[in-house]
A and B are shown apart, each in its own frame.
Chain A
């Protein structure tokens, strides 16, 4: 009996140590420090870069310290962390994913409707403000080489129809089976098929089209290799793919506590276009630079968007 009591005391004591040890020395700029803004993000290069961009902006415009919590498994996990109070800002989520993932709703293909549904849904379900897009989306995109595009005047996906019977297509494996925005639905919407469709790992499609193994491929629109291989991204003119606009989100409660955060995120609205995001992804992956470095250089090159609305006074010493 006495042991149990002692074990209990010991367990309590150690828990107490953890709870009060909220800023263990050395874990400093730590994820645990009171008053710091904690920016949570997922694990792809793009998502981590965006996390550090938000951090850089917060540090530039306010006295608040900001930390990045990276490598969470999905936007659902990021959202969960925020709802539980383990994080304050979700660096990025994509409309289509937020709609079907966090909110558990059916996909909506109209971009404005989708955005509205997500914005309302986040406010109602989580009391979180879902911001307008950074200015780019990361969706599925049909890609062709510059040569093929010039030869056949290709701008939209529909333009492929007349020559599709002679084209080989390389696509993401999982796209073949997807409901709603997958291969079968594609045939229904665009009413044409390719000569042969080869499913493959999504990371391989860029090389496949560049080398000429495939005539057209389906890849991710912000992949850095689109720029480096000079590929042409065909416009989804029939709005077949649901929108995947990239936005940050923050609980209203946190915004009340740190009103400046709202202004800072507003500055990032529409600030990053697809080309910029592609380039940052490309540089980080091909030149082995840490996303933190890429984000810092990006912000410095753009002077932290100081000239864009709303006006904010940068904090000295940056």
Chain B
């Protein structure tokens, strides 16, 4: 029925050879899932950033609220991602939107916390100087606080994105697609070792690369590194 001639030696291959073979055979599918995985994570983090950065600025000016907000977000963080995903599935149903909402919730804390810390750490003397120059509130935020805090905020985004890639992986359990699908398939297949690797290695690489790239960006945005140059 299906054309599988010349593949008989496959069963004799070792796992690494099987892995290479799998990637050759299913390369475009793998890439599709990789991209999908990345996008789901990015969307969740971006939505979180839109909400969390303003909150971070706000609580930096209203310190009384800071403990409360950070504390609440901390509790969210101790809920296992699988549990959070399952709970949200009960409310939002299966599919990709629920995964994005889960990523969103997990991303809030690191971004709020870092924005808060970044804004708080802005040198008071600098702020006074800027005020003395007659800057408006908006200008202060936009021209002084934001650039000074950007590197720290970026560290929060980095943290959030790494977590997001992990959360997206388990999104497969509610039918959201992504690289978790490939891992799941390998676990279900009778001799799926190579397929598991084909799913798990790119997932790990994506997280590690995202971490390294954003760490580099974080360094570039650090105002103190500019002075040195």
Binding site for B on A (CB under 8 A): 3, 6-7, 10-11, 13-14, 17-18, 21-22, 24, 26-27, 30-32, 40, 43-45, 48, 69-73, 77, 81, 84-87, 203, 223-225, 276, 279-280, 283-294, 297-298, 301
Query: Which residues of chain A are within 8 angstroms of B3 by Cβ–Cβ distance?
Result: 297
Distance in angstroms between the alpha carbons of A294 and B189 in the assembled complex: 14
User: In chain A, what residue has the closest Cβ to B7?
Assistant: A287
Query: Which residues of chain A are within 8 angstroms of B104 by Cβ–Cβ distance?
Result: 14
Distance in angstroms between the alpha carbons of A284 and B100 in the assembled complex: 31
- In the complex where A18-B100, A73-B173 touch, is A276 in contact with B1 (Cβ < 8 A)? yes
8 contacts across the A-B interface (CB closer than 8 A): A27-B43, A70-B177, A71-B184, A72-B175, A81-B94, A288-B21, A290-B185, A291-B185
Chain B interface SS verdict (over half): helix
- In the complex where A31-B175, A43-B184, A286-B10 touch, is A18 in contact with B97 (Cβ < 8 A)? yes
Distance in angstroms between the alpha carbons of A301 and B43 in the assembled complex: 40
Q: Which of B22-61 contact A (CB under 8 A)?
A: 22, 25-26, 29, 35-36, 39-40, 43, 47, 50-51, 54-55, 58
Query: Which residues of chain B are within 8 angstroms of A285 by Cβ–Cβ distance?
Result: 189-192
- In the complex where A14-B51, A45-B189, A288-B18 touch, is A84 in contact with B93 (Cβ < 8 A)? yes
User: In chain B, what residue has the closest Cβ to A280?
Assistant: B2
Contact B188 A44 (CB under 8 A): yes
19 other A-B residue contacts (CB within 8 Å) besides A7-B55, A32-B96, A293-B25: A6-B58, A10-B51, A14-B51, A14-B104, A18-B101, A27-B40, A31-B96, A40-B175, A69-B94, A72-B174, A85-B93, A86-B94, A279-B1, A285-B190, A286-B10, A286-B191, A288-B22, A288-B25, A297-B2
| Smallest CB separation, A108 vs chain B (Å) | 29
Query: Which residues of chain B are within 8 angstroms of A24 by Cβ–Cβ distance?
Result: 39, 43, 100
Partner of B26, one of A26, A81, A283, A289: A289
Distance in angstroms between the alpha carbons of A141 and B192 in the assembled complex: 24
| Smallest CB separation, A20 vs chain B (Å) | 11
Distance in angstroms between the alpha carbons of A85 and B176 in the assembled complex: 15
Partner of A71, one of B11, B55, B173: B173
Query: Which residues of chain A are within 8 angstroms of B2 by Cβ–Cβ distance?
Result: 279-280, 283, 294, 297-298, 301
- In the complex where A87-B94, A288-B18 touch, is A3 in contact with B62 (Cβ < 8 A)? yes
User: In chain A, what residue has the closest Cβ to B29?
Assistant: A290
- In the complex where A3-B58, A289-B26 touch, is A17 in contact with B96 (Cβ < 8 A)? no
Q: Is the CB of B181 closer than 8 A to any CB of chain A? A: yes
Contact B95 A69 (CB under 8 A): yes
Query: Which residues of chain A are within 8 angstroms of B159 by Cβ–Cβ distance?
Result: none
Q: Which of B83-102 contact A (CB under 8 A)?
A: 93-97, 100-101
Query: Which residues of chain B are within 8 angstroms of A279 by Cβ–Cβ distance?
Result: 1-2
Contact A17 B173 (CB under 8 A): no
Distance in angstroms between the alpha carbons of A290 and B2 in the assembled complex: 13
Query: Which residues of chain A are within 8 angstroms of B1 by Cβ–Cβ distance?
Result: 276, 279, 298, 301
Distance in angstroms between the alpha carbons of A71 and B33 in the assembled complex: 14
User: In chain B, what residue has the closest Cβ to A289?
Assistant: B25
Contact B177 A10 (CB under 8 A): no
Size category, B interface: 35 or more
* Total CB contacts across the A-B interface at under 8 A: 130
| Smallest CB separation, B148 vs chain A (Å) | 23
Distance in angstroms between the alpha carbons of A73 and B188 in the assembled complex: 12
Interface string of B179-218 (1 = CB under 8 A from A): 0110011001111101100000000000000000000000
Query: Which residues of chain B are within 8 angstroms of A27 by Cβ–Cβ distance?
Result: 36, 39-40, 43, 96
Contact A283 B4 (CB under 8 A): yes
- In the complex where A14-B51, A31-B176, A289-B25 touch, is A71 in contact with B36 (Cβ < 8 A)? no
Query: Which residues of chain B are within 8 angstroms of A297 by Cβ–Cβ distance?
Result: 2-3
User: In chain A, what residue has the closest Cβ to B174?
Assistant: A72
| Smallest CB separation, A275 vs chain B (Å) | 9
Distance in angstroms between the alpha carbons of A72 and B189 in the assembled complex: 16
Q: Is the CB of B65 closer than 8 A to any CB of chain A? A: yes
User: In chain B, what residue has the closest Cβ to A26?
Assistant: B39
Distance in angstroms between the alpha carbons of A13 and B4 in the assembled complex: 53
Q: Is the CB of B172 closer than 8 A to any CB of chain A? A: yes
Query: Which residues of chain B are within 8 angstroms of A70 by Cβ–Cβ distance?
Result: 175, 177, 181
User: In chain B, what residue has the closest Cβ to A284?
Assistant: B189
Query: Which residues of chain B are within 8 angstroms of A276 by Cβ–Cβ distance?
Result: 1
- In the complex where A48-B185, A286-B11, A297-B3 touch, is A72 in contact with B94 (Cβ < 8 A)? yes
